Structure formats: C-alpha cells, structure tokens
Amino acid sequence: MNEDPTKELPKQSFEERVLAELAAILAEQAATRAGVDAISAEVDAIRTEVDAIRSEQQALRAQVDAIQVQQGAMARNIIGLDERLTSLEEIVDARLKETRPIWEAVQAQIEKLDEKFDLMIRDLYDLRGKVARHAKQISLLEQRPTP
C-alpha cells in the first residue's frame, strides 16, 4: 500500500463535490423532465389523432347505416316492381290467349281476301285483254268501207 494516503485526496472540498453532484442530478432531472414533457406531448398528439379517427369512424358508421337503409328501400322497390311485372306478364298472357283465335281468324280472312284479290286481278287482266281485242275489232269494222 501507499504510505501517504493524503496524496489521493481530491483537490475539491467536500462541499464542492456534493454541490457538483447535486448539480449533475438536477441536470439529469431536467433532461428527464424534458423527455417526459416530449413524451406527454406525443401522447397528447396521439390522443388527438385517436379522437379524430374515432369521430371519422362514427361518421362512417352513420353513412353505412344510411346506405343500408337505402339498400333496404331499394330492395323493397325492386320486389314491388317484380310483382308488378309478374302481374303484367300474366295479364298479357291472358289477353294473348283471348286474342289468338281472333287473330287467327283475321289472318284466315286476309288470306281469303288475297285469293279473291288475285282472282279479281286476273279477271281485270282478262277484261282488259277482251276490251283491247274488241277495240281492235271495232276499229277494223270502222275502217271497212260501207256497201
């Protein structure tokens, strides 16, 4: 061991060393407080963002609820339209069954009229031919000298 223990004594007094340590502790405490304050500010910012997200989420839920209500109303309207369309189809089918015999009779009459019209046209052409032949014969007779 060293025989002179006083050589290793610090050059500062005890009070100065205590005050220096206290100053270091206070500096660390101030730095810690600054870090805590920064974390508190970040937590407050996060809370604000979470509150904004929650309010947006509530607004979205309200919009989804409104869309679901509209979708239900549209589904009811579609069901009503489908029922009306089915009813109209049944009415049209019933009327078609009622008018089919009438339509078939009308078509048969039209075919008969076509046949009669064709016959009239043939008769008209025959008559024209006869008139033309008679006109020729008349003109020949008129050109003959009278005795």
Question: How confident is the model over 72-119, as pLDDT tens digits?
Answer: 999 999 999 999 999 999 999 988 888 888 888 899 999 999 999 999
Q: How confident is the model at residue 147 (pLDDT cuts 50, 70, 90)?
A: low
Residue showing tokens 């046949």:
115
Q: CA 125, CA 138: separation in Å to the nearest integer?
A: 20
Tokens 């024209």 sit on residue? 128
Query: Which residues lie below 8 Å from residue 2, measured CB to CB, with a gap of 6+?
Result: 8
Instruction: Tell me: pLDDT of 8 over 80.
Output: no
Are 11 and 18 a contacting pair, CB within 8 Å?
no
Q: Which pTM was predicted?
A: 0.45
User: Per-residue pLDDT tens for 10-38?
Assistant: 677 889 999 999 999 999 999 999 999 99
Distance between CA 138 and CA 5 in Å, rounded? 176
Please determine, for residue 3, whether its predicted confidence score (pLDDT) is greater than 80: no
Instruction: Look at residue 6 in the predicted model and tell me its pLDDT.
Output: 59
